[in-house]
Structure 1
Amino acid sequence: MSKQIYLNLPVADLSKSLAFFKALGFADNPQFASESGACIVISDSIFVMLCTRERFRDFTPKAICDTSQAVEMLINLCCENREEVDGLVARALAAGGSTYDKAEDLGFMYSHSFVDLDGHGWGLFCMTTAPSEA
C-alpha cells in the first residue's frame, strides 16, 4: 500500500493562503474544508493541510514558530522538469510569495525555491540524471 503525506501548516489568513496555493495550480479538497482549515492537493500522495493558527494549536502543546525569525522546516518537492520548477516559482512570486535564492543548476539536478505567505520555505528541484551518472 502506498503511503500518503499530510503536512500541517499554520497560516495567519486561511482564505489568502488557500488562494495562494490555488494560484500555484494546486487544487483543494473540499471534504477537508472548514472555517479553520483547508486541504491542498499537491499529488495523489501529498497533501498540505492549511490550519488557522488557533486550529494548529490543537495539535501541539509547543509554540508555533515565528517564521519571520526562525525556520521551522524546509519542504522540498520533486518536480518533473525545470520548466515546472521555474513555473511554480514564478506563480508563487506573482501570488505574493518571495524567494531568497536564485535557481541553481548542478548538472544532475536543477533547483529553486519560494517562501509562501506564512514564511514556509518550499524547495523545488528536478533530477536530470542520477547523481552517480553526472
Structure 2
Amino acid sequence: MTRLTFVNLPIQSAAKTKAFYEALGFEFNPQFSSEDTLCMIVSETAYVMFLETDRFKGFVDKELADTRTTVAALLSFSCASKEEVVSTCEKAFELGARRYKEPDDHGFMLAWGFEDPDGHIVEPFWMNPEHLEA
C-alpha cells in the first residue's frame, strides 16, 4: 500500500495563500479545495492542506501556535537542482516572503528557506542523487 501524506497548516486567507504558492509554481487539487481550504499538490503522494484558521480550529482541541512568533514545523520539499532551490526562494522573496536564513550549501546538498505570508517556514532543498546511493 502506498501511503499518502497530508500536512495540514492554518492560514489567514486561502486566496492570498493560493496566489503566493501558485506564483511559486505549485498546483492545487480543486476536489479538496474550497473558499477556506486548499489542497496543494507537492507530489503524487504528498499534499499540503491549508485551512483558514477557523476551519483548522474545528479539527483540534488545542490553541494554535502563532507562526509569526513561534515555529511549529518546518515544511521541506526536494527540488530537481540547486538552481531550482535558488529560483524558488528568490521568487518567494519577490512575493514578500521573509528571508530568515542564508543558503546552506554542503556540496552534496543545498538547502535554503523562507517564511511564507502566514509565518510558516518552508525549506526547498536539493540533494545529489548519487550521494543517496552511496
Q: What TM-score do you get using the length of structure 1 for normalisation?
A: 0.92
Decide which moves more: 16-25 or 41-50. 41-50
Query: Share of identical aligned residues, percent?
Result: 35
Decide which moves more: 52-61 or 38-47. 38-47
> 1:110 — aligned with what?
110
How far apart in 2 are the matches of 1:121 and 1:16?
16
Provide, for residues 24-71 of structure 1, a one-character-per-residue CA deviation record: whole Å limited to 9, x for no partner. 100111111212201111111111111010000011111111012211
How far apart in 2 are the matches of 1:91 and 1:10?
22
**Aligned-residue offset at 1:2:** 2.0
> 1:130 — aligned with what?
131
Ranges in structure 1 where 5+ consecutive residues have no aligned partner? none
Provide, for residues 60-103 of structure 1, a one-character-per-residue CA deviation record: whole Å limited to 9, x for no partner. 11111101221111111121110111111012112221221111
Q: Secondary structure at the match of 1:62?
A: coil
What is the RMSD computed on CA atoms of the aligned residues? 1.5
Change (3 A) 1:35 1:86: same
| Matched residue type, 1:74 | L
> 1:57 — aligned with what?
57
| Structural mapping, 1:34-53, within 5 Å | 34-53=34-53
Does residue 76 (structure 1) correspond to residue 109 (structure 2)? The answer is no
**Aligned-residue offset at 1:131:** 7.1
**Aligned-residue offset at 1:122:** 0.9
Q: Secondary structure at the match of 1:130?
A: helix
How many residues get paired? 133
How far apart in 2 are the matches of 1:49 and 1:65?
17
Ranges in structure 2 where 5+ consecutive residues have no aligned partner? none
